[in-house]
């Protein structure tokens, strides 16, 4: 008899079916069972979760840890029914590669003035804007963890002048590294393009507001790939409207999908993306989740868990 692993997911039925298939392929020795179909809720020490229903979590009394299929776990962390159950978030090199590609794509979009040329075309305006070489374009990455470091490396390879900011001190070849809240102003003061790849935690909520925007160079741009509430949207709109910032690319929002009546949709200096910078790759993610489960079942060793104090 195969060991049953609960699959607790509040996602569409086709998505759930794809995940169950990928998980089954990656770990044929186990049976991944949707919560509703479990023969018993007892005895399950580990589960795979994706936007889990809190009541389902509560109904699994023996859980020790859960494997999330997402990289950002701020919602899970604040789920009271989880109690002290450990959370393993998705750490997938394939996801980092996808995010690095997005960081490069949207940095180039801003670097080569694509929003400006689109706007000129709409006005039938034939005008060459001054060219700035990549080496003269200063790009700062907020959060140089798994995704931010991959993004920084891709930007360095393309020739940008790259800076990175984290909580603890870092040493990344070719990147000027800054750490700690006290050194944030020094970095943002030099960023023509600021890319946010931070997790949402109590320390990063609303981190990017008026105080940060006024310190950035005149006409700088922001890319937010982290989480919506890290940016103070009202302050951002104000900075764009008064010209202190030139453009913002937003992939994440306070509320997703973005509300139909949000002023962000039509703002000339905002590019709205529907949370697409780094979609999860089913096969690689399933393999990683299963590797964590297999190690635990064979050795009792849990994967690295999210730190409940720092919130990431």
User: Which member of 118, 275, 294, 308 is catalytic?
Assistant: 275
How would you class 121 by CB atoms within 10 Å of its CB: exposed for 0-12, middle for 13-18, buried for 19 or more? exposed
Q: How far is the CB of 141 from ligand NAP (least distance, A)?
A: 9
**What are the beta bridge partners of residue 248?**
222, 270
Q: Given candidates 22, 162, 278, 289, which one binds ligand NAP under the rule CB under 6 A? A: 278
Query: What is the Cα–Cα distance from 200 to 117, expressed in whole angstroms?
Result: 33
If one asks whether residue 115 binds ligand NAP (CB under 6 A), the answer comes out as: no
From CA 64, how far away is CA 135, in angstroms rounded? 49
Instruction: From 30-38, 48-56, 200-208, 234-242, give the range in contact with ligand NAP by CB under 6 A.
Output: 200-208
What is the C-alpha to C-alpha distance for residues 249 and 252, in angstroms, rounded to an integer? 9
Q: Closest CB to ligand NAP belongs to which residue?
A: 145
What mask, x for binding ligand NAP by CB under 6 A, covers residues 60 to 99?
A: -----------xx---------------------------
| CB of 91 or CB of 114, closer to ligand NAP | 91
Site for ligand NAP in 163-192 (CB under 6 A): 165-168
Is 275 assigned a catalytic role?
yes
**Minimum distance, C-beta of residue 165 to ligand NAP, in the bound complex (Å):** 6
CB 281 within 8 A of CB 253: no
Q: Is 153 in the site for ligand NAP (CB under 6 A)?
A: no
Nearer to ligand NAP, 6 or 145 (CB): 145
Identify which of residues 201 and 246 has a Cβ nearer to ligand NAP in the complex: 201
Of 88, 153, 201, 284, the one binding ligand NAP by CB under 6 A: 201
Quote the CA–CA distance of 236 and 240 in Å, as a whole number.
6
Q: Which residue from 47, 104, 163, 198 is in contact with ligand NAP, where contact means CB under 6 A?
A: 198
The two three-digit tokens of residue 51, written as one number: 């936007």
Q: How far is the CB of 197 from ligand NAP (least distance, A)?
A: 5
The strands making up 138-142's β-sheet, listed across from edge to edge, are 175-179, 161-166, 138-142, 193-196, 220-224, 245-250, 270-272
Whole-angstrom distance, CA of residue 274 vs CA of residue 261: 15
- Closer of 29 and 283 to ligand NAP (Cβ): 283
CB 167 within 8 A of CB 179: yes
Closer residue to ligand NAP (CB): 158 or 179: 179
Exposed e or buried b per residue across 124-134, where buried means at least 16 C-beta atoms within 10 angstroms of its C-beta: eeeeeeeeeee
275 binds ligand NAP (CB under 6 A): yes
Task: Choose between 98 and 246: whose C-beta lies nearer to ligand NAP.
Answer: 98
Catalytic site residue 227? yes
> 227, 266, 267, 294: which is the annotated catalytic residue?
227
Report the site for ligand NAP in 208-227 (rule: CB under 6 A): 225-227
User: For the residues of 229-261, what is the DSSP string, one character each?
Assistant: GGB-HHHHHHHHHTTSEEEEEES--SSSSPPTT
Distance between CA atoms of residues 18 and 12, nearest Å: 10
Binding interface with ligand NAP (CB under 6 A): 71-72, 143-148, 165-168, 197-201, 203-204, 225-227, 251-252, 275, 277-278, 312
Residues annotated as catalytic are 227, 275
């Amino acid at each position: 008899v195969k060991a049953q692993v609960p699959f607790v997911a509040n996602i569409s039925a086709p998505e759930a079916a794809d995940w169950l298939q990928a998980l089954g392929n990656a770990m044929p020795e186990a049976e991944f069972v949707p919560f509703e179909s479990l023969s018993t809720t007892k005895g399950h020490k580990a589960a795979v979760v994706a936007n889990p229903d809190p009541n389902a979590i509560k109904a699994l009394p023996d859980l020790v840890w859960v494997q999330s299929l997402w990289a950002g776990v701020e919602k899970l962390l604040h789920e009271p029914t989880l109690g002290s159950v450990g959370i393993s978030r998705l750490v997938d090199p394939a996801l980092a590669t996808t995010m690095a590609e997005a960081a490069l794509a949207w940095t180039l979009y801003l670097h080569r003035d694509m929003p400006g040329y689109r706007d000129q075309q709409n006005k039938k305006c034939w005008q060459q804007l001054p060219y700035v070489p990549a080496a003269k374009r200063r790009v700062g990455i907020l959060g140089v963890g798994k995704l931010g470091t991959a993004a920084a490396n891709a930007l360095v390879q393309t020739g940008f002048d790259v800076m990175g900011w984290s909580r603890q001190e870092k040493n990344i070849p070719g990147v000027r590294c800054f750490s700690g809240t006290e050194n944030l102003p020094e970095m943002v003061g030099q960023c023509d393009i600021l890319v946010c790849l931070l997790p949402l935690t109590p320390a990063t909520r609303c981190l990017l507001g008026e105080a940060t925007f006024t310190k950035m160079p005149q006409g700088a741009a922001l890319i937010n790939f982290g989480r919506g509430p890290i940016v103070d949207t009202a302050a951002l709109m104000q900075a764009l409207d008064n010209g202190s910032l030139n453009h913002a690319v937003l992939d994440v929002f306070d509320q997703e999908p973005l509300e139909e009546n949000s002023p962000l949709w039509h703002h000339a200096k905002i590019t709205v993306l529907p949370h697409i910078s780094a979609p999860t790759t089913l096969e690689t993610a399933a393999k990683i989740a299963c590797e964590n489960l297999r190690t635990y079942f064979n050795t009792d060793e849990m994967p690295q868990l999210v730190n409940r104090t720092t919130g990431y």
